[in-house]
Amino acid sequence: MRPVAARVITTRGVSRGSASALLVCIIVLSIAAALFAPSALSRPFMGFCVFLALAVMVIQILYRATSPRPRNWISVEILFMLGYLVVHTTYPLFWLIGLAPSENALWYDQSVVCYAAAMTAAGLACFALGFNIPADRYNCVQWPANVDRAALMSWKRIGTVLFLAGAVALAAWARLVGDVISSGVYTYAPGEYGAHITFLLADTLLRLGLLVLTITAALLTRKWKIGLIPKIGLALFVGWFAILGDRSTLVTMALLVAAAYSEYVRLISFKVLICIIVGGLFFMGVIRVARWSPDRTVSSFIQTAREESHQISWDTGLMNFGGSVRTLHAAVATIPSEYNYRLGELQITTAAGLIPFSRRLLPANFVTSATFLTAIINRGNMESGAGTTVVADLYCDFGFPGVMVALFTLGLLSKQIQQRARAAPSLTWGVAHAALIPVMTLMARYTVMTAVRSVLWPVIAVYLLSCLFGLRRRVDLPTVAPLPPQSAYPSRQTGPVVWHDRVGRGSGHI
């Protein structure tokens, strides 16, 4: 394995400052637009807000495209912003170009749509600003001169065991729910409480096993040599979740591997990213149509997709995900006019999920924003969920200012995790970064606290495993500085020998 010296990027100060200045201008314009938002649908106003939101994405792409090589386009901020735009601006954009009707019930309340569009642009610009403020010290993982191969081999074996344990737990979940998953009625993780816990355990073990396997295999070989059984298992699981219609789990597992692969094995180019996005959205549209097949079998899935092929087009996946913006309109229309701001109450349930089984101790009135908004949109009918978006979730609790502050903070934290993971081959930060990317990609349709559990649980698991088996989490070996000639010492050398890392700072003792 050829070592790569650490490279601190110092050539992007001007471009980073220019990007930040443009983002500040967009934030100011978005706030001003919200203050003067009309109470009726206005094409000029909506066009202006959509332009501001798209401009944030363009600025970030240009900023990354002009960065020093090598570049990895499977980046946490790019994927978050893409998901954010798909969910919050697809329907307004399609309405502007005449592909979506004005009278569609998706608006929920047309009097708040313009205000919500301005808030959407402001929130995205705040996230991008928070992400860009810290310097880009590392644009890729810094490879050490030496790695602890014995520790890495031990971690790889642990990753295999975790993956197989996840497969066993998934089989146990399928046994618990019985015929429900093959009945042809789409239900996410069906079953009683025990089945839900089993599914959550299986999902966590599978994700952690894939992450540990991919990172350790790459550090050992610079290739994706995770083993034949995990590769076959991953393909089977992805196909099974597609037939079940569980797009979230499917995308999460695929992106976990893609994120770790792109960081540690081979960088993903912009062209490849575009192909992944286009192909992924089309496949998500196919799954949405075919998941209502009468039986959960491959033949039934394919037959339903063929029979309903007229519903599958280039915009099927976009419109499906973009429909979630209705929850934001419902939130703005009813808060604070009918309901007070929840002031963090809607985050308690998700935060309690950080501690297993603690949700059962909460009173029944503690719900998530998805449940709260479903009750509003469906007028109390809870048979089908309306969902939520990250902006709707934050607005319900903290209003417009809370959306901006929370997304700005989220951008800062995402950048810090990315840079810490790239600074040194630490399994803890590597797992945190790779786990963060898929959850940030999907966060536009979820609550903001979802990221905490999805990242914190794998990190805690790595820490506990390292303590249990006595393994190092930072797997680079120290480079011992050569001793000067003996004549340089007036007396015998005593005390520890100090070794230095690859940028010359004292890093420890041996």
Nearest in space to 325 (alpha carbons), one of 252, 392, 229 = 392
- pLDDT tens-digit series, residues 424-444: 788 899 999 999 999 998 888
172/199 Cα distance (integer angstroms): 9
The two structure tokens encoding residue 8: 């601190």
The two structure tokens encoding residue 478: 């120290």
Amino acid at 268: I
- pLDDT tens-digit series, residues 206-235: 989 999 999 999 888 888 888 899 999 888
pLDDT over 90 at 47, yes or no: yes
Helix, strand, coil abundance in the chain, percent, nearest 5: 65, 0, 30
pLDDT over 80 at 32, yes or no: yes
Whether the Cβ atoms of residue 59 and residue 19 lie closer than 8 Å to each other = yes
- pLDDT tens-digit series, residues 284-332: 777 766 666 666 667 776 777 676 666 666 566 677 778 888 999 999 9
The pLDDT, as a whole number, for residue 280 is 79
Confidence of residue 488 (pLDDT cuts 50, 70, 90): very low
Mean pLDDT is lowest, of 413-427, 473-487, 492-506, for 492-506
Q: Which whole-number Å values give the CA distances from 113 to 46, 95, 107, 325, 445, in the listed order? A: 8, 12, 7, 10, 18
The pLDDT, as a whole number, for residue 69 is 78
- pLDDT tens-digit series, residues 388-412: 899 999 999 999 999 999 999 999 9
pLDDT over 50 at 494, yes or no: no
- The structure's pTM equals 0.84
The pLDDT, as a whole number, for residue 132 is 93
